[in-house]
């Protein structure tokens, strides 16, 4: 994996599996609760460190058409009806699942177009680090590194606002 979505591309499309997602890292502690999907953790002993992103995880969320279809259907009808899952379910139900999945795959033509438009970027940091045999990592941070951090922080802010809105609604319900 040496291609990723550029933070300059639209990232808040709820039907896109390529928008920034935060994954939580935590200390080993029996009091920690990890949310489904490992996007958040909570603990009575530790505070979250929002806006701190010490590691990147490169992850293609769908490995095959069958896995995409199964995950989309299961999640849309169950625990997490996010736009990307609902889109998968609706496409499957309409008999357009294969076309929708293919629109997510970055083939050579899509890569060329995405690079030209600035929607995709080559990112060889992981590959280069794994090839480097010295003790110190061989990672160069290009100009997009700061943009990436801002994009992830913006995505975190959106999620925090949603959480605050849900809490506000719950509190309003308690007052009536």
Q: Give the predicted TM-score (pTM) of the model.
A: 0.55
Per DSSP, the three-state class of 127 is helix
Which pLDDT belongs to residue 140?
Answer: 56
Which pLDDT belongs to residue 96?
Answer: 93
Q: How many domains does the chain have?
A: 1
Which pLDDT belongs to residue 139?
Answer: 55
* Angle of CA points 163, 168, 173, to nearest 5°: 130
Residue 122: both structure tokens together: 């080559």
| Residue 33, H or E segment | strand 33-34
Alpha-carbon Rg of the chain, whole angstroms?
19
Taking the chain (176 residues) in consecutive chunks of 10 residues, what is each chunk's mean pLDDT? Answer: 71 64 77 78 80 67 84 82 84 92 86 86 79 60 63 73 85 80
Closest CA to 11 of 113, 164, 153: 153
- The DSSP 8-state label assigned to residue 7 in this structure reads T
Which pLDDT belongs to residue 49?
Answer: 74
CA distance 158 to 50: 12
Residue 154: both structure tokens together: 């913006």
Q: In Å, what is the CA distance from 25 to each residue of 38, 61, 90, 143, 172?
A: 8, 19, 33, 26, 32
Pairing mode of beta strands 3-5, 120-122: antiparallel
> Which domain covers residue 150, as residue numbers?
3-175
The answer to whether 41 and 32 are in contact (CB under 8 A) is: yes
Which pLDDT belongs to residue 98?
Answer: 92
Which pLDDT belongs to residue 94?
Answer: 94
CA distance 25 to 23: 7
22: left (phi over 0), alpha (psi -120 to 50) or beta: beta
């Amino acid at each position: 994996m040496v291609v990723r979505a550029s933070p300059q591309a639209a990232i808040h499309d709820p039907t896109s599996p390529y928008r920034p997602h935060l994954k939580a890292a935590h200390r080993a502690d029996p009091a920690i609760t990890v949310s489904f999907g490992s996007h958040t953790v909570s603990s009575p002993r530790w505070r979250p460190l929002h806006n701190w992103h010490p590691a990147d995880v490169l992850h293609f969320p769908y490995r095959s058409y069958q896995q995409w279809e199964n995950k989309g259907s299961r999640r849309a009808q169950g625990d997490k009806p996010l736009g990307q899952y609902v889109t998968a379910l609706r496409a499957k139900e309409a008999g357009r699942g294969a076309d929708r999945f293919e629109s997510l795959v970055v083939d050579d033509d899509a890569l060329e177009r995405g690079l030209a438009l600035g929607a995709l970027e080559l990112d060889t940091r992981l590959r280069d680090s794994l090839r480097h045999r010295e003790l110190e990592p061989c990672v160069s941070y290009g100009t997009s590194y700061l943009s990436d951090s801002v994009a992830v922080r913006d995505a975190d802010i959106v999620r925090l606002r949603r959480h605050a809105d849900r809490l506000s609604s719950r509190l309003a319900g308690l007052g009536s």
